[in-house]
Structure 1
């Protein structure tokens, strides 16, 4: 564990050193680290619109994806209190800090957890949207370390946690979620917006 901790520190300090030499990246990465969650929300909305008249299984996945994000974040909160890891700027003096200082715990990263769950949830729906989210998630993870809000293992753990919750939950719940989506589609009000136009079982993923 000591070797892993040393490697974690070394990577963090290397990224922080890179941040010192790239002042032109400060503003965009600060903005993305803080407001990039909006991009993930937009991708989830696009996914729902993309499959709203497609196969019921994909519509169910589009409904599950945002639920998985919320579930992953709910699981992440007690984990943060369990590990109670301090933020990098609380333990490393003299580093460049671009993040807004907070008393929240560092491990795992909420932002990375959200990003990981969104990326995996979207991969269940559309390869194109899913891989767009994977790239966005990787950038979010890097940005959170770049601004010194997290250590590398904080964001890596968050990405893995989010992805596991989204994928594992879908494996367990896809049958009842698909049945629920089919039932909801049969209702007059819902049917007007989400009536399927694809043949049952037709693959609509891009």
Structure 2
């Protein structure tokens, strides 16, 4: 990796200059927006999307709610585990940040002193996106799209090579998918136990199913069986 970084004629470096060159031509205000989005904004958006997906799953309250919530619990765990796996990888590869080896880059974020390969931001966002995909495809596709945007931002900001981002995508995907079966085998029974709990069951599913709420609101709707039995007993 270090050999590639020193060469200015390889596709990785050329693509770095092409994408980062967009920052040089963009207005200063736009670069400040990209700096916030790439450093903090998309990470926050991914966390909010996981919470939104959880809220949607529990309100739907179908029979797979426990396994879906288990997948959503696994998503941030996978992201954290992937970052831990990246620690020895970064130390082994020891690839300097691109602005340390290449002149003329427009670096939007200063103070980056750690190694470059692989990108933690790309790793975290892709692990969250793939984890959401296991729980809900619609949210997962949106999450993966945000992860791809995060990867573009890291190169645009001049703090990562394209291969750093691709490596992060691969690491996040591998951890989220390959470890998903044992993780789901452990987390799904836990979520089913939580679902049966009278106090914590709301974490997995809404107290009343959507159909029951509609029946309560629509005049003349048929009462649930339990209500009819209570009326007859009275």
TM-score range (shorter-chain normalised) is 0.7 to 0.9
**Could you list the runs of 5+ residues in structure 2 that have no partner in the other structure?**
211-234
Q: Residue 158 in 1 paired to residue 153 in 2? A: no
- Partner in structure 2 of residue 22 of structure 1: 26
- Partner in structure 2 of residue 45 of structure 1: 51
CA–CA separation in structure 1 for the residues paired with 2:54 and 2:150: 22
- Partner in structure 2 of residue 13 of structure 1: 17
Q: How do 1:12-161 and structure 2 match up within 5 A?
A: 12-23=16-27, 25-35=30-40, 36-52=42-58, 53-54=61-62, 55=64, 56-161=66-171
**Normalised TM-score (structure 2):** 0.78
CA–CA separation in structure 2 for the residues paired with 1:133 and 1:101: 28
CA–CA separation in structure 2 for the residues paired with 1:3 and 1:31: 29
CA–CA separation in structure 1 for the residues paired with 2:147 and 2:170: 11
Give the superposition deviation at 1:102: 1.4
Give the superposition deviation at 1:192: 4.0
**Secondary structure of 2:105's aligned partner:** coil
CA–CA separation in structure 2 for the residues paired with 1:192 and 1:58: 14
Deviating above 6 A after TM superposition, structure 1's stretches of 4 or more consecutive aligned residues are 1-5
**Could you list the runs of 5+ residues in structure 1 that have no partner in the other structure?**
199-206
Q: Residue 168 in 1 paired to residue 178 in 2? A: yes
Give the superposition deviation at 1:109: 0.3
**Structure 1 residues 122 and 193: alpha-carbon distance in aligned structure 2, compared to 1, 3 A threshold:** closer
- Partner in structure 2 of residue 202 of structure 1: none
CA–CA separation in structure 2 for the residues paired with 1:169 and 1:47: 21
**Structure 1 residues 98 and 3: alpha-carbon distance in aligned structure 2, compared to 1, 3 A threshold:** closer
- CA RMSD for the aligned pairs? 2.1
Assess if the C-alpha contact under 8 Å between 1:51 and 1:62 holds in 2: no
Structure ranking higher on relative contact order (CA contacts 8 Å, 6+ apart): 1
**Normalised TM-score (structure 1):** 0.88
**Secondary structure of 1:97's aligned partner:** coil
The size of the alignment, in residue pairs, is 198
**Structure 1 residues 193 and 178: alpha-carbon distance in aligned structure 2, compared to 1, 3 A threshold:** closer
CA–CA separation in structure 2 for the residues paired with 1:167 and 1:192: 27
